[in-house]
Amino acid sequence: MQLIKTVKEIQAISDKLRAEGKKIGFVPTMGYLHEGHASLVVRAKELADIAIVSIFVNPTQFGPTEDYAKYPRDLNKDLLACEAAGADYVFAPEDKEMYPGGFNTEVSIKGVSDKFEGSFRPIHFNGVATVVTKLFLAVKPHIAVFGQKDYQQTLVVKQAVRDMLMDVAIEVAPTVREADGLAKSSRNTYLSAEERILAITLYKALNSARQIISSGAKNRQAINDAMSEVINNSGAFKIDYASSALFDDLSEPEEFKSGQEIVCLIAAYLGKTRLIDNCLITIP
């Protein structure tokens, strides 16, 4: 496995691999890797000949009061994790490599980025779409693998790829969870021991949505209320949103219909840590 720091080098490597007829699979990450990230690398290797992982804590997707400065970083540990998962190259550029002085262009997404995460993190998805576009131009992958953990992000990336005619197939891989159900996340390291125990509340809230849907609920507000109730009963969270929507365009009808696939999405603060989770459910 090779560590690459510059755009020029990774572009040259991709050009060579493409000329050799190799299929390139790409996993963009912000590092501090866990088994969720590793599962994406494994999936990339299943779908392609070569797996390239990027590690870059992207400043433009963090709001001014968010955790960019304290976001956990450990490149040496990440390199070992990438190698163990089967990565062939790690692209880990410095900030100025990705955003040289005078940088002044943004990929701005409307529609699917407006609600849920977008309404609480107003600049977030433009930062994501911009950096993903730049990473795609640097790495030149045939396919890129993203986690369902960041569900709305997968829709935003698909929208950007479609709208900007990017020749990259987008694959979404399932959320990897801890034994108790908590979605693995680099931000889980922020949690105190007591918070770590309470953190599974979000998973329990998603399960309560599953439960009332399987017993016949189709009303969107009732489904949302079932999730909020579980979270509020724990007395530990401040909810940003606990919502359900159609899985493909995030539209919010009053009543869901049998056969429709929906996504339940939660974002909430546990102390200072903001956690997100989601699940897909088909209305019976």
Positions that interact with ligand AMP (CB under 6 A):
29-30, 36-37, 39-40, 146-147, 149-150, 173, 175-176, 183-186
For ligand AMP, the closer of residues 71 and 237 by Cβ is 71
Is 198 exposed, middle or buried, given 0-12, 13-18 or 19+ CB atoms closer than 10 A?
middle
CB burial of residue 210 (10 Å; 0-12, 13-18, 19+):
middle
Shorter beta-carbon distance to ligand AMP: residue 26 or 256? 26
Query: 18 vs 204, which CB is nearer to ligand AMP?
Result: 204
Q: Give burial (CB, 10 Å; 0-12/13-18/19+) of 192.
A: exposed
Least gap, CB of 134 to ligand AMP (angstroms) = 15
DSSP conformation letters of 51-89: EEEEE---GGGS-TTSSTTTS---HHHHHHHHHHHT-SE
In whole angstroms, how far apart are CA 220 and each of 19, 206, 225, 233, 262?
A: 51, 14, 9, 20, 10
Among 34, 37, 124, 142, the active-site one is 37
Please report the beta strands in 179-252, taking only residues with DSSP state E, as ranges in sequence order.
237-246
Least Å distance, CB 119 to ligand AMP, is: 20
Would residue 34 show up in a list of annotated catalytic residues for this protein?
A: no
Tokens of 263: 């996504």
The CB-of-21 to ligand AMP minimum distance in angstroms stands at: 27
Nearest by Cα to 209 from 198, 201, 217? 217
Nearer to ligand AMP, 44 or 226 (CB): 44
In the complex, least distance from residue 117 CB atom to ligand AMP, rounded to whole angstroms: 12
Cite the active site residues. Answer: 37
